[in-house]
Chain A
Amino acid sequence: EADIYQTPRYLVIGTGKKITLECSQTMGHDKMYWYQQDPGMELHLIHYSYGVNSTEKGDLSSESTVSRIRTEHFPLTLESARPSHTSQYLCASSTADQPQHFGDGTRLSIL
């Protein structure tokens, strides 16, 4: 049974819409991450958080924003979706120096 949950799994939506991708983990991990992954390409870190009220931008510039109000919850928001935002978004969490646990991702398509 998954310990980190992402919803929705798939989303097809029109340009200009506001989107929130949900990510929740039940492991009590302090660190959480958002990655963007295109087919055949490596994962790119777009946001991370060390803990509640801590958020930082990752290596890949992204127009998305994140929040960390609760330890277990790390939603990602796109205020106005564009076709260039079409991608797979993966959420992960970790503690100390242990390997990250990944969710199954949200595949986002912007028409």
Chain B
Amino acid sequence: NAGVMQNPRHLVRRRGQEARLRCSPMKGHSHVYWYRQLPEEGLKFMVYLQKENIIDESGMPKERFSAEFPKEGPSILRIQQVVRGDSAAYFCASSPPGILSGELFFGEGSRLTVL
């Protein structure tokens, strides 16, 4: 079984551009979570999605950030008009339905650098 796949692994953007990060969950997993790791900090929950539904976006910045998990295809975390403070590692995790709490499988992360 392939693990959680994230791409790109590294992304460089200039201020004002858009960043799109993709996450393909493990086979059979219908729950996707995005976490952000700012430099020298722990991971912070951003959003929890199921297919075609945002369940909890309490950790998402109110502006410029959006996430989706369409019926077909990967989950996308989109950051519009990036600023230097968006530079971070963005981790995706997935879990199957009916999980025990916290039974997450993490991807290898996407590292965004904003110049």
Tell whether A and B belong to one assembly. no
Interface residue ranges, B against A (CB under 8 Å): none
A-side residues, CB < 8 A to B, are none
